Amino acid sequence: MYLIEVYVTNASLNVNRPFTYIYKQAIEKYCRVKVLFNRSANTAIVSDCRYTEKDSDELKSELGYTPLEIVEVIDEEPVMSEELFNLAIWLSKTTVSPLISCLNSMLPKALKTSRNLSSPKMISRFHKHEGDFSFTKRQKEIYDQLCEGMESAQARRLSVSIIKKLIEMNAISEYEEEAVFVNSEIDRTAFKTLTSDQQKAFDRIISSDKMVSLLFGVTGSGKTEVYLHLARHFLEEGKDVLILVPEISLTPQMIERVKERFSDVVFYHSELSDQERYEQYKRVRNKEVRIVVGTRSAIFLPFSSLGLIIIDEEHDSSYKQDNVPCYHVKNVAFKRAIDHHAKVLLASATPSLESYTRALKGDYQLLELKERINHCFPQIDVIDLNRQLRNNGSYIISKPLRNELELCLRDRKQAIILLNRRGYSPIVRCSECGSTLMCNDCDTPWNYHKDEGVLKCHQCGRIYRIPDRCPNCGHKPLLFYGFGTKKAEEELARLFPSAKIERMDRDSVGRKGSHQSILKRFENHETDILIGTQMIAKGLDYPDVTLVGILNADAGLMHQDYNSAKVTFDLLMQASGRSGRAAHEGKVLIQAFNPEHYVIKAVLLQDYGFFYNIEMNYRNKTSYPPYSHIIEIMLSDADPLRIHRSADDIYDSLKDLPFKIYRPYELGKVKKQLRCRILIMGKDLLAMLKSTHEVIDAYIAKRNVSRVKIDVDPLYLE
């Protein structure tokens, strides 16, 4: 009899431990099995298997219960490697989340259910034996033409019958080997010759003895070209390469550049169907492809020998997962790089404060590309919206921006207008009682969406008919305040009736592939002005764009979040980097109510260092990251009594620990759920993790408590 330890996949998350079953045969570790758990059938992953002589009575007295028998073995082969299983354990520890939720987010969906993972592709080859064989002339010829390890299929093309004879004579024998597909073709002609700065960065990454390098290169400095040269280098050494990007649909040009040069490349992202993801997972596992471009979850692909992981726009918040396990892809990349002896390249024009600080300290190798490839930075101006209003100007499209747009259109160039708020008006207010209308389920104001003639909650997505009178006082009419991309688009159309204008935001790109078609039209210059949210700020490289206008540039600074200055700075730097990337000089106009703010100043100066020094000073004074670590414990519950009781309970078990513990703090409700947060802040992350584990393990074992979610080093605090 064999004792089999398994993790049950859809057990409730508070059973974060393996369960013991029995089976008549040994089962390989990391295969999936079917078990009965709480009287229902469940899929589970085998984490251990050992032989026992004991019979079921003896087992019962040892374990304290009679172990059930495994119902069925699903896989013939493990669905994951030892490395990935250990990665899941590590992930569970460092994100304080149940192992099973880690396993579930690592495997493609198709594997979480019941489909079988096909075995790697095998190839048969011939082994040549030495000896005195009495060959005929023809047999000798064929024997001499065979080389050791030749593929059987190829050999049989010489002569099926003679090969058969040679096997019978034992002059050759056939064996099977796992097929290894080295990236078949690399198109060398498509590679640009690196500039001397790019070459220097390339050489130093290759030769560095540090695991991590930070490529700090201004927008348009040719970082992508460096990635592609590095990828080629590592592929030629027989290593796998992973390039992570924030969002695939927003980087069509990067995709094209990769495709141009490498014939076999996997693009792994959330727009793929479950089946497609599963197919790609298999291709990586079977070593059919060695270069992957993907979003966050691609970090869990079953690579066998990673050489290089590139994280493009490493500061981007999409690299952090919002739901459990709330991991940051960078940390997972470092862990995998250690396991594979691989290198990690972080790259950005606006590196995260943490990465830049580490690079300055020498933990990472710092590489800089200070010059644009075209040696020409756009000219940047800030427009004070207060002054515009005093002079009766428009605060949507100011007079100076309007003039620049006119010039741009006259010269047949293109413009990008960024406004990081979708919809028509973000505030709906009663003209009588002045109350702001809110979503019924969330503490979030309604947004007016004119195209559909509805009110939308941007928190939960619920859609409402516009009430004909105020729900609070019964008065009418309602007033709409502020503006989003839709209203700005209308305003542009009014000002420039003959220009072709397109809008790109979450509302306009509903269908799959519509990102690409909007960007394609812009690329083909079928569109003159592209207006959109942060979606249009990243990565785009269009030579005819000579004007970027940023509306309400400082709106993001109103948030109370500790990170909002950095997020706003990144966005404005990214957006201004879209202008004047090729032969034509570019311009950027930034409209702001607070033009003296250091974020706006830093963007005006295009000076990361200027921003960094001020921001780090502020973080230091307030002890926010990177001067500390934060663990956020978030409770949610519809029951107000229970959430308060739960929060007090957790706070009581934390409060005497040697870290800074913030009292429970109530946040606005989302989807009818009340939310309450407790923060732990300190410098010793390992000790903080250990204490949090103890407290949370004890907490989830209790009955009738609120749902809890842990976020280690959250990027935002509402």
Residues that bind Zn ion (CB under 5 A): 439, 441-442, 457, 459-460, 462
Helices (H) and strands (E) in the chain, counts: 22, 29
User: Which of ligand ADP, Zn ion, none has residue 441 at its interface (CB below 5 to 8 Å by kind)?
Assistant: Zn ion
- We find the least distance from the C-beta atom of residue 217 to ligand ADP, in angstroms, to be 5
For ligand ADP, the binding residue among 152, 195, 317, 606 (CB under 6 A) is 195
> CA–CA distance from 661 to each of 95, 632, 655, 665, 681 (Å)?
18, 10, 6, 11, 6
3-state SS, residue 596: coil
Residue 245 to residue 267: CA distance in whole angstroms: 10
Q: Percent helix, strand, coil in the chain (nearest 5)? A: 35, 25, 40
Identity (one letter) of the amino acid at 569?
A: F
- We find the least distance from the C-beta atom of residue 547 to ligand ADP, in angstroms, to be 18
* Contact characters 220-249, ligand ADP, x per CB under 6 A: xxxxxx------------------------
Instruction: Single out the residue of 657, 651, 637, 639 nearest to residue 709, CA to CA.
Output: 637
Q: Which residues contact 228 (CB under 8 A, 6 or more apart)?
A: 191, 257, 258, 261
- Answer yes or no: are the C-beta atoms of 173 and 129 closer than 8 Å: yes
User: Which of ligand ADP, Zn ion, none has residue 217 at its interface (CB below 5 to 8 Å by kind)?
Assistant: ligand ADP
> CA–CA distance from 394 to each of 384, 409, 485, 598 (Å)?
12, 20, 15, 25
For ligand ADP, the binding residue among 339, 371, 384, 541 (CB under 6 A) is 541
Q: Is residue 194 a contact residue for ligand ADP (CB under 6 A)?
A: yes
User: Which of ligand ADP, Zn ion, none has residue 219 at its interface (CB below 5 to 8 Å by kind)?
Assistant: ligand ADP
Quickly list H helices, 11-159: 56-63, 82-94, 99-106, 109-112, 137-145, 152-156
User: Which of ligand ADP, Zn ion, none has residue 223 at its interface (CB below 5 to 8 Å by kind)?
Assistant: ligand ADP
- We find the least distance from the C-beta atom of residue 543 to ligand ADP, in angstroms, to be 7
Nearest residue (CB) to ligand ADP, 383 versus 519: 519
Q: Is residue 586 a contact residue for ligand ADP (CB under 6 A)?
A: no
- We find the least distance from the C-beta atom of residue 672 to Zn ion, in angstroms, to be 9
> CA–CA distance from 169 to each of 127, 140, 144, 151 (Å)?
13, 12, 15, 19
Nearest residue (CB) to ligand ADP, 257 versus 709: 257
User: Which of Zn ion, ligand ADP, none has residue 163 at its interface (CB below 5 to 8 Å by kind)?
Assistant: none
Q: Is residue 579 a contact residue for ligand ADP (CB under 6 A)?
A: no
Q: Which part of the chain contacts ligand ADP (CB under 6 A), choosing from 174-182, 189-197, 289-297, 418-426?
A: 189-197
For ligand ADP, the binding residue among 192, 387, 475, 476 (CB under 6 A) is 192
- We find the least distance from the C-beta atom of residue 195 to ligand ADP, in angstroms, to be 5
Identity (one letter) of the amino acid at 701?
A: A
User: Which of ligand ADP, Zn ion, none has residue 532 at its interface (CB below 5 to 8 Å by kind)?
Assistant: none
Nearest residue (CB) to ligand ADP, 398 versus 574: 574
Q: Is residue 219 a contact residue for ligand ADP (CB under 6 A)?
A: yes
Q: Is residue 198 a contact residue for ligand ADP (CB under 6 A)?
A: yes
User: Which of ligand ADP, Zn ion, none has residue 335 at its interface (CB below 5 to 8 Å by kind)?
Assistant: none
Nearest residue (CB) to ligand ADP, 372 versus 486: 372
Nearest residue (CB) to ligand ADP, 373 versus 616: 373
Nearest residue (CB) to ligand ADP, 222 versus 378: 222
- The CB-side HSE value for 484 (13 A sphere, CA atoms) comes to 26
- We find the least distance from the C-beta atom of residue 361 to ligand ADP, in angstroms, to be 24
Q: Which residues contact 145 (CB under 8 A, 6 or more apart)?
A: 158
User: Which of ligand ADP, Zn ion, none has residue 198 at its interface (CB below 5 to 8 Å by kind)?
Assistant: ligand ADP
User: Which of Zn ion, ligand ADP, none has residue 457 at its interface (CB below 5 to 8 Å by kind)?
Assistant: Zn ion
Nearest residue (CB) to Zn ion, 513 versus 668: 668
* Contact characters 495-534, ligand ADP, x per CB under 6 A: ----------------------------------------
Q: Is residue 373 a contact residue for ligand ADP (CB under 6 A)?
A: yes
CA quadruple 297, 300, 301, 307: dihedral sign: positive
The site that binds ligand ADP (CB under 6 A) totals a number of residues, namely 15
> CA–CA distance from 430 to each of 462, 474, 480, 654 (Å)?
21, 9, 9, 45
- We find the least distance from the C-beta atom of residue 636 to Zn ion, in angstroms, to be 14
- We find the least distance from the C-beta atom of residue 193 to ligand ADP, in angstroms, to be 6
Instruction: Please compute Rg for the chain using Cα positions.
Output: 30
- Answer yes or no: are the C-beta atoms of 412 and 449 closer than 8 Å: no
- We find the least distance from the C-beta atom of residue 603 to ligand ADP, in angstroms, to be 16
- The CB-side HSE value for 104 (13 A sphere, CA atoms) comes to 19
> CA–CA distance from 502 to each of 17, 400, 414, 486, 511 (Å)?
53, 21, 12, 10, 16
User: Which of Zn ion, ligand ADP, none has residue 151 at its interface (CB below 5 to 8 Å by kind)?
Assistant: none
CA 278 to chain centre: 18
CA quadruple 411, 412, 414, 415: dihedral sign: positive
Q: Which residues contact 393 (CB under 8 A, 6 or more apart)?
A: 387, 399
- We find the least distance from the C-beta atom of residue 309 to ligand ADP, in angstroms, to be 17
Nearest residue (CB) to ligand ADP, 252 versus 626: 252
β-sheet bridge partners, residue 383: 591
Instruction: Single out the residue of 258, 236, 299, 287 nearest to residue 91, CA to CA.
Output: 299
- We find the least distance from the C-beta atom of residue 244 to ligand ADP, in angstroms, to be 14
* Residue burial 329-345, b: 16+ Cβ < 10 Å; e: rest: bbbbbbbbbebbebbbb
Residue 12: how many CB atoms within 10 A of its CB? 11
Q: Phi/psi at 401 (nearest 5 deg)? A: -65, -40
Helix (H) or strand (E) holding 291: strand 291-294
Nearest residue (CB) to ligand ADP, 223 versus 458: 223
Q: Is residue 583 a contact residue for ligand ADP (CB under 6 A)?
A: no
User: Which of ligand ADP, Zn ion, none has residue 586 at its interface (CB below 5 to 8 Å by kind)?
Assistant: none
Q: Which part of the chain contacts ligand ADP (CB under 6 A), choosing from 29-37, 145-153, 212-220, 380-388?
A: 212-220
Residue 585 to residue 545: CA distance in whole angstroms: 9
User: Which of Zn ion, ligand ADP, none has residue 570 at its interface (CB below 5 to 8 Å by kind)?
Assistant: none
Nearest residue (CB) to Zn ion, 222 versus 423: 423
Nearest residue (CB) to ligand ADP, 198 versus 691: 198
* Residues contributing to the site for ligand ADP (CB under 6 A): 192-195, 198, 217, 219-225, 373, 541
